[in-house]
Structure 1
Amino acid sequence: MLKVGLIGYGSIGKDVTKYIKDGKVEGVTVSLILLRNKETYNNLPANDILHTDNEEEFFNSDLDIIVECAGHQAVYQYAVRSLSSGSHFITVSVGAFADEELLNSVREAALKHNRKLILPSAAIGGLDRIAASTFQQIEEVKLITRKPPEAWRGTIAEDKVDLDNIVEEHIIYEGTAREAAKLFPQSTNVSAAISLAGIGFEKTKVQVLVDPKVTSNTHKIVAKGFFGEVELTIQNTPSANNPKSGYIVAMSICKALSDFTSPVVIGV
């Protein structure tokens, strides 16, 4: 049985825990959850799953896999430490790796300790095709992200458009994936994932829109190259507790965990 530790217990962490507790991920158990301050959390998991805000206790618990679902700062704080403790590290806050220095330090830690940094598809799809296509020339990779106004609360979009009264779609950013990942850390992790899978942060183009006519978080990937062309549109149902994310993120983490124990692995 693989011992999994979670960093964070927000909407994603709760969903991952529930899927595992319900037996939907075979051969995996949640052993420990790291919280910022356990005194401030309500509705903590049942007593059969331990939780702590003591980092030393968490990283000395002989965990096989550590899953980050707490945001970019948690990647900065814990990615190298997780790998150095002997655990594989799964993260959904891929936008943190727009910081090339961070990416290099995490890659070095993974190599040194013979562990893996694992980036699940999370809110996006088609990463397998884009990654495979890099064995030949890629001419273009573009991501178009559009979300309803509510999903942009608490971001710089509030400075660019009146989210309460917008009636038509509005482009709030157009440029490179590297800058997009820094400007919208919670909402464009997908651009970072596509960049890492494909032609890099500078060459991957991103367009970000607020669109009052959509109800789902929508991502459209356009890629062209030696392999041919792909145009993929994904509509994710926003999480009720965190509209910047979607339910599929926790499912994607569970798929990554399942790949460790399943005799058959699909979609890599």
Structure 2
Amino acid sequence: MMVLKVGIIGYGAIGKDVAQYIREKKAGDAELTALLVRSKEKYQELEQDGYIVCDDEQAFFQLGLDVIVENAGHEAVYQYAEKALLTGSDFVVVSVGAFADAQLLDRVQKAAEQYKTRLILPSAAIAGLDRVAASMFNTLDEVKLVTRKPPNAWRGTIAEDKVDLDTVAEPVCIYKGTARESSKLFPESTNVSAALSLAGIGFDETKVEVYVDPSLKKNTHQIIVKGFFGEAEIKVQNTPSADNPKSGYIVAMSICKALKNLTSPILIGI
């Protein structure tokens, strides 16, 4: 079985965890080959470990990588998604909310079709995407996401304009609307709504509610789906990453599960 040459764009909390799981041989027959970062001088220890560290995107995309993993934010999706697919790499996207831009999604999809590559959207912070996607084979009437996170998870976001994160004493709804809008307003916190939209009935029909909830210690997502198949309600509670409380440890785990699927003889939950 071939070994996948993997590149990572961004080396924050998620990127570090993905790299660690790959090193521990938990991501199937995947091998971390290279990283694309803003300044390679900060990562000399990685070069000493035998990885190629690039701050030149042209050099990175010429390495013949099998899979490229993005975990650097929406701008990185705009900047690199098409390029990755056009140069023959599958592209694993964490910042799925970028695809609320319909034109971007169309361009990326066409690039994947033209070059026989794949855009891969892991479940990341939620569960049940397989159920939602399967439900689309018949009528799907409602898809709703309710996201609740503790105050610290909202620092540095527009939530600070809506509620005092230092003194909030009870749950406060800071947004109610559609996935298309929420994906843009809360790019680091509601990428899950974008993934849910792409699996199901679309950005404009997927309902979203977002709460600051001081009673919580974990980031919580509740998915409600109703349709011909029946009804499903899924609730997940994710332990926030110590390095980035806006995200959770499960995101890197989900990415590595997707990488493992690419070389595994047994596929579960597809």
Letter in 2 for 1:130: V
Spell out, residue by residue over 1:35-57, the C-alpha distance to the aligned partner (whole angstroms, 9 max, x if none): 01122458647522221101111
Spell out, residue by residue over 1:148-176, the C-alpha distance to the aligned partner (whole angstroms, 9 max, x if none): 00000010000000000000000000000
Ranges in structure 1 where 5+ consecutive residues have no aligned partner: none
Q: Classify the secondary structure of the residue corresponding to 1:150.
A: helix
The residue aligned with 1:74 is: 76
Letter in 1 for 2:203: F
Alignment of 1:225-264 (within 5 A): 225-264=227-266
Alignment of 1:114-193 (within 5 A): 114-193=116-195
How many percent identity over aligned positions?
A: 62
Indicate conservation of the 8 Å contact 2:43/2:53, yes or no.
Answer: no
Q: Distance in 2 between matches of 1:87 and 1:65?
A: 5
The residue aligned with 2:208 is: 206
Ranges in structure 2 where 5+ consecutive residues have no aligned partner: none
Indicate conservation of the 8 Å contact 2:10/2:71, yes or no.
Answer: yes
Letter in 2 for 1:191: S
Q: TM-score, normalised by structure 1?
A: 0.98
CA shift, 1:256, in A, is 0.3
CA shift, 1:201, in A, is 0.5
Q: Distance in 2 between matches of 1:83 and 1:246?
A: 27
Q: Classify the secondary structure of the residue corresponding to 2:181.
A: helix
Cα gap change, 1:131 to 1:184, in 2 (>3 Å)? same
Q: Distance in 2 between matches of 1:118 and 1:183?
A: 23
Q: Distance in 1 between matches of 2:74 and 2:187?
A: 7
Match of 1:102 among 101, 104, 108: 104
Letter in 2 for 1:223: V
Indicate conservation of the 8 Å contact 2:86/2:111, yes or no.
Answer: yes
Letter in 2 for 1:145: T
The residue aligned with 1:34 is: 36
Indicate conservation of the 8 Å contact 2:183/2:194, yes or no.
Answer: yes
Spell out, residue by residue over 1:200-232, the C-alpha distance to the aligned partner (whole angstroms, 9 max, x if none): 001000000000000000000011000000000
Indicate conservation of the 8 Å contact 2:28/2:261, yes or no.
Answer: no
Q: Classify the secondary structure of the residue corresponding to 1:248.
A: helix
Q: Distance in 2 between matches of 1:99 and 1:51?
A: 30
Q: Classify the secondary structure of the residue corresponding to 1:192.
A: helix
Q: Distance in 2 between matches of 1:17 and 1:195?
A: 28
Give aligned pairs, total.
Answer: 268
Cα gap change, 1:206 to 1:46, in 2 (>3 Å)? farther
Letter in 2 for 1:75: V
